[in-house]
Structure 1
Amino acid sequence: MSQKPKLYYLNGRGKMESIRWLLAAAGVEFEEEFLKTREQFEALVQDGLSLRFEQIPLVQMDGMNLRQTKGILSYIAGKYNMYRKYLNVRLFIDMYVDGIRDLLTMCMVFIVNAGKDKQKANIKEKATNRYFPQYEKVRI
């Protein structure tokens, strides 16, 4: 039996959340290592292999260090045959992955603009009315 994938990220959602969702959709159990200190992050950077781009998320699975969210998601979808054999299904999945990336970018802007109520209201409205309903409708 192969080892469970191990996910390295902060103790939060962020870019790791879509990876968690995809692993859950594939029925794959995983372990998580939450980076709580700068020293833990620096240790991954210093080993030269784990964080090639000096960024997280990092997923260790199948004897590899997977980096960059979209690449990780593509690998998981391919490994667990989530794309199936149809090109249109792959396009559908990739569109939703990019949508999540756009939504996360908006969420990061929301956090950074803590004191700007008008901009926060606009972001909240887009997330609530444009993005969330699309994910609630997904049926593959």
Structure 2
Amino acid sequence: MSVEPWASGPVRIDSWLWAVRLFKTRSAATTACRAGHVRLNGDRVKAAQTVKIGDELRIRISGFDRILIVRQTLVKRVGAPLAAVAAEDRTPPRDPVAAAGLRDRGAGRPTKRERRDIDRLRGREHDGQRTEW
């Protein structure tokens, strides 16, 4: 006897986020809801709130918002191909210029040349004068 992962009605939002593989554990999804990182149709949600087909979710992960539309409600965790079908990703592409100013963790302080390059990318011109605080 196999249990179908699809639900016929609404499903808890933390369970759905876990089922479509956005969070590694259901408790991590619950924590994200409590912290206010999950919005359902523009409103902050609690973990027990239900999600249904057609709802728009905004989830803040790693400092960026992911925008998803619910296409299927799931109660069990499924593989990546089925998870991709259950949620339509409408996240806009990230700005490559903004990402270019980021440095690798542990790379240390930027050199003077690197700092000037980063300032140029971010639209700030360097005039060679030191600014006083």
TM-score (norm 1): 0.27
Higher helix residue share: 1
Larger Rg: 2
Higher strand residue share: 2
TM-score (norm 2): 0.28
